[in-house]
């Protein structure tokens, strides 16, 4: 038979002497561990991408007092400052005082000035002065003689008047003669008074002429001008210390009382309109622990332009404040010391308060997140006055609500949140 009549016998793939092995327990354990590791990795990946609650800080809405203040840098200044200036022209002696020295009103000698000597007269001017003195002396003698003649004429006129008056009773003198005699007596009396005034004027002219003649001899020995302190206090500044020639009105030093201090603050004009005399002021950053108490005395009516550190033009107003019962430590404050003035412009004893850091703007609305059952719930609120830390809530919240402080951008309405420790 041919080979095609019988089917082909399959060729075995293994040798007859090889025995087929079944899978053991170690192989199954390895596969199980691999599957477990893969499953754990997948779980970690899922857990890592699963949304977690956002860690936040919270604060509670409560009722309490609120004071709104306007804060601005200020400086101390002595209320009454006195600039001592030269009263006459001359040579000023060296000032012995230094800044900080104590002075007593009317007693402490501040400066001594030797008045400038009058300029010397040349020969021609001296002769003119001598002639002017002689002329005025002669004029005085002339006026004296004229006065004597006028007095004699007055006596004669008065005698005629007395005779006419005695005859008038008999009716022998006419009315015209009587009027003429009365008029002459009055005229003579007026001439006497005029000559008396003329003598006085001549005496003044003679004194002036003699004073001109006396020029050239310089100031008399010991003729000094002493300027004493006008107030009790301390020397604030010595403007001119060395000996020099001064002119009238030249400033020499400043004095004042450092205990009589006031606070000068430069407030923005938009804030100054809310400040009124009598408002309370807290003075901070003055060097002590507790703030000083003060009160607004005056808000100046005119503003001025000031360039800020950023180069912006600002309109500012001077606000003056008085200190109220300053402690002993505050006596170390001096003139032009830097402080921080906080002026109270609004106050309420009982309002609903929320932390300013829990509110944010969304368009034209104030919004906040309330912590409820582990989630952030967005609410719209109506905010009132604020002092920078606490804000008055007019509507939208209730006392006891728990708010999210400074919520991150990842928080939105319904986001899961958790309180931070």
The residue out of 184, 214, 244 marking a domain boundary is: 214
Query: Which residue has better confidence, 213 or 408?
Result: 408
138, two tokens: 């002669």
Instruction: Tell me the per-residue pLDDT of 320-333, one tens digit each, with 9 for 90 and over.
Output: 999 998 998 888 89
Instruction: Tell me the per-residue pLDDT of 164-208, one tens digit each, with 9 for 90 and over.
Output: 777 755 556 667 777 777 777 778 787 877 777 777 777 777 777
Please, how many CA atoms are within 13 Å of residue 260, restricted to the half-sphere of its CB?
A: 13
Whose tokens are 């030269």? That residue is: 86
Instruction: Tell me the per-residue pLDDT of 402-420, one tens digit each, with 9 for 90 and over.
Output: 999 998 888 888 888 888 7
- Residue 307, class by beta-carbon neighbours within 10 Å (0-12 exposed, 13-18 middle, 19+ buried)? exposed
User: Taking a C-beta distance cutoff of 8 angstroms, is the pair 375, 338 a contact?
Assistant: no
For the chain, the average pLDDT equals 83
Alpha carbons 138 and 253: distance in angstroms, whole number: 51
Query: Which residue has better confidence, 29 or 53?
Result: 53
Is residue 14 domain-resident? no
Whose tokens are 């002769």? That residue is: 127
Tally the domains of the chain.
Answer: 4
For residues 103 and 234, state if they share a domain: yes
Is residue 13 domain-resident? no
Alpha carbons 225 and 88: distance in angstroms, whole number: 8
Is residue 20 domain-resident? no
Instruction: Tell me the per-residue pLDDT of 104-119, one tens digit each, with 9 for 90 and over.
Output: 988 999 999 988 766 6
Is residue 412 domain-resident? yes
Is residue 24 domain-resident? no
Q: What pLDDT shows up at residue 353? A: 95
Calculate the CA dihedral of residues 62, 64, 68, 73 and round it to 10 degrees: -90
Share of the chain above pLDDT 70, in %: 86
Domain that holds residue 383: 55-66+350-419
Quick check: helix, strand or coil at residue 337? coil
Any idea what the CATH number is for the domain that residue 286 is in? 2.40.30.170
Alpha carbons 383 and 367: distance in angstroms, whole number: 9
Its pTM stands at: 0.58
Is residue 200 domain-resident? yes
Query: Which residue has better confidence, 32 or 17?
Result: 32
Which residues are within 8 A (CB) of 178 and not within 5 positions of it... i.e. 6 or more apart?
A: 164, 165, 168
pLDDT at 219 over 90: no
For residues 237 and 365, state if they share a domain: no
For residues 246 and 108, state if they share a domain: yes
31, two tokens: 């596969």
pLDDT at 291 over 50: yes
Is residue 246 domain-resident? yes
Instruction: 333-336: list long-range contacts, CB under 8 Å, 24+ apart.
Output: 333/76, 333/258, 333/261, 333/286, 333/287, 334/76, 334/258, 335/76, 335/77, 335/78, 335/236, 335/256, 335/258, 335/261, 336/75, 336/76, 336/77
264-291 average pLDDT score: 93
403, two tokens: 């708010």
User: Taking a C-beta distance cutoff of 8 angstroms, is the pair 178, 168 a contact?
Assistant: yes
Is residue 45 domain-resident? no
Residue 170 Ramachandran class (φ > 0 left, ψ -120 to 50 alpha, else beta): alpha
The helix (run of H) or strand (run of E) holding residue 150 is: helix 123-168
């Amino acid at each position: 038979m041919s080979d095609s009549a019988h089917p082909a016998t399959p060729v075995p793939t293994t040798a007859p002497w090889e025995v087929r092995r079944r899978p053991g327990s170690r192989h199954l354990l390895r596969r199980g561990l691999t599957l477990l590791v893969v499953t754990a990795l997948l779980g970690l990946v899922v857990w890592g991408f699963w949304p977690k609650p956002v860690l936040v800080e919270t604060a509670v809405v409560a009722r309490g007092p609120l004071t709104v203040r306007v804060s601005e840098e200020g400086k101390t200044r002595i209320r009454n400052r006195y600039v001592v200036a030269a009263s006459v022209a001359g040579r000023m002696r060296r000032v012995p005082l230094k800044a900080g020295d104590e002075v007593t009103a009317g007693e402490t000698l501040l400066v001594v000035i030797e008045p400038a000597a009058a300029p010397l007269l040349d020969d021609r001017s001296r002769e003119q002065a001598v002639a002017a003195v002689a002329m005025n002396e002669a004029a005085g003698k002339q006026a004296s003689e004229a006065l004597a003649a006028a007095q004699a004429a007055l006596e004669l006129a008065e005698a005629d008047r007395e005779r006419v008056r005695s005859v008038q009773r008999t009716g022998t003198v006419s009315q015209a003669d009587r009027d003429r005699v009365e008029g002459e007596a009055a005229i003579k009396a007026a001439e006497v008074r005029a000559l008396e005034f003329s003598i006085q004027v001549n005496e003044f002219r003679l004194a002036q002429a003699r004073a001109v003649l006396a020029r050239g001899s310089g100031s008399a020995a010991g003729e000094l001008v002493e300027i004493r302190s006008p107030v009790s206090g301390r020397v604030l500044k010595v403007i001119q210390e060395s000996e020099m020639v001064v002119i009238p009105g030249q400033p020499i030093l400043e004095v004042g009382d450092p205990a009589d201090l006031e606070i000068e603050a430069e407030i923005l004009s938009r804030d100054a309109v809310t400040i009124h005399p009598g408002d309370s002021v807290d003075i901070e950053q003055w060097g002590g622990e507790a703030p000083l108490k003060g009160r607004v005395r005056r808000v100046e009516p005119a503003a001025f332009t000031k360039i800020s550190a950023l180069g912006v033009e600002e309109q500012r107003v001077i606000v003056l404040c008085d200190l109220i019962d300053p402690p002993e430590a505050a006596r170390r404050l001096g003139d032009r010391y830097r402080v921080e003035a906080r002026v109270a412009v609004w106050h309420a004893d009982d309002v609903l308060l929320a932390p300013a850091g829990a509110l944010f703007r969304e368009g034209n609305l104030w919004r906040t997140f309330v912590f409820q059952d582990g989630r952030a719930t967005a609410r719209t609120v109506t905010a009132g006055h604020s002092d920078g830390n606490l804000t008055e809530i007019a509507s939208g919240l209730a006392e006891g609500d728990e708010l999210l402080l400074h919520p991150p951008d990842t928080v939105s309405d319904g986001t899961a949140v958790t309180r931070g420790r």
